[in-house]
Amino acid sequence: ILLGETEYEGNAMLKHIRLHKKKPIEEVHFERWLALWEKNVYALYEGKTADEAVLRAKQIAGLMKYKIGQQGTL
């Protein structure tokens, strides 16, 4: 989305909820993913686009944690 690509048609939230039911996703998993995401974004991009990508990832992670928490544990 940040780079103008709009071809993804899946439901990432549902996929993560299903995964969580098989093997719980824990806080440490979100922290690690966000750290890797931020490191790689800033290695490849800079400025507003990079900052927006990191901000959106943090927002999405927060929403996923909330929704997964509604399914139990986290």
| Residue 74 pLDDT | 53
In the block, residue with structure tokens 């549902």: 14
| Residue 34 pLDDT | 97
pLDDT digits (tens, 9 = 90+) for 33-66: 999 999 999 999 999 999 999 999 999 999 999 9
In the block, residue with structure tokens 């995401």: 37
pTM for this prediction? 0.79
| Residue 55 pLDDT | 95
7-23 burial by CB neighbour count: b if 16+ within 10 A, else e? Answer: eeeeeeeeebbeebeee
Statement: residue 3 has pLDDT above 80:
no
